[in-house]
Amino acid sequence: MAQTAETFKRNLIQKMARRAAAIARPLIPSRTLRKALQIKYVRSGVQIFRAYLVIPHYWALYVHDGRGGFGPRRARVLVWFRDPRNDPRTDGATNYPVREGDIRRLTRSEFYHGVAMNHRHGTPDNPMPYMVIAKWRGGDKPQPFFSEGLANLNEVMTPLVTREFIKFIDTNLFSDADRADLRI
């Protein structure tokens, strides 16, 4: 079936974007960020000009590029949970904040519940098994899953583009009437 050049271009960009996402997804160290990976297309009318891989979570940048240490801004302590499913701010690890404005503080009762769980389950070796309470959090090393993981993307895409282009040329420019038979 013949296709127009615009349809070919749109389909090719979509295939390339899906292939890039398939390569990038297993390299992302966070399950939440892996699930959030999206393909965004820049369009003009029905034409697609570009495709981008996007992770909307504000903290994806910190995972990718790393960050220095930090402390609480408007609170006395930093709090995080050893098991993210216990964090009431994320609805059992199903609703992570996407924008920085989505972050919420623990309520007083949620905080004291976490303290009580630490007292109940803590040991001398691990005094905070449920909820970690700290004044300072050290930095994290960068995990450049996009910049390093997709560095050789041209080597992957060249055969894909070549194969699709040859298929497009064969389908759209040549018909059976254009083929020559040679009989000896």
| Residue 178 predicted with pLDDT over 60 | no
In a domain, 156, yes or no: yes
Q: Which of 110, 109, 131 is nearest to 120 (CA)?
A: 131
User: For residue 174, what pLDDT band results from cuts at 50, 70 and 90?
Assistant: low
164 lies in the same domain as 123: no
In a domain, 182, yes or no: no
**CA separation for the pair 123, 173 (Å, rounded):** 75
Is residue 122 within 8 A of residue 129, CB to CB? The reply is yes
Question: Given this model, what pLDDT does residue 117 score?
Answer: 92
118 lies in the same domain as 151: no
In a domain, 153, yes or no: yes
33 lies in the same domain as 74: no
In the chain, how many domains are there? 2
127 lies in the same domain as 83: yes
In a domain, 180, yes or no: no
Question: Given this model, what pLDDT does residue 181 score?
Answer: 62
pLDDT in tens, 128-166: 899 988 887 778 899 898 888 888 888 989 999 999 988
User: For residue 39, what pLDDT band results from cuts at 50, 70 and 90?
Assistant: very high
**CB within 8 Å of 175: residues ≥ 6 apart:** none
44 lies in the same domain as 78: no
In a domain, 40, yes or no: yes
76 lies in the same domain as 129: yes
Phi-psi region of 125 (alpha: psi -120 to 50; beta: other; left: phi over 0): alpha
In a domain, 10, yes or no: yes
Please give the helix or strand (H or E) that residue 133 lies within, else none: strand 131-134
Please give the helix or strand (H or E) that residue 181 lies within, else none: none
Domain with 123, as residue range(s), is: 68-134
127 lies in the same domain as 102: yes
Higher model confidence: residue 72 or residue 37? 37
129 lies in the same domain as 75: yes
In a domain, 181, yes or no: no
Q: Compute, in degrees rounded to 10, the torsion defined by CA atoms 5, 11, 16, 20.
A: 160
pTM beyond 0.85: no
pLDDT in tens, 1-36: 567 888 888 889 999 999 999 999 999 999 889 999
Per-residue CA distances from 26 to 29, 37, 132, 136, 177 (Å): 8, 11, 29, 31, 47
| Residue 121 predicted with pLDDT over 80 | yes
45 lies in the same domain as 78: no
Q: Which of 9, 13, 39, 24 is nearest to 152 (CA)?
A: 24
pLDDT in tens, 41-90: 988 777 778 899 999 998 888 888 888 776 677 778 888 888 888 999 98
74 lies in the same domain as 130: yes
Question: Given this model, what pLDDT does residue 107 score?
Answer: 92
10 lies in the same domain as 33: yes
157 lies in the same domain as 121: no
In a domain, 54, yes or no: yes
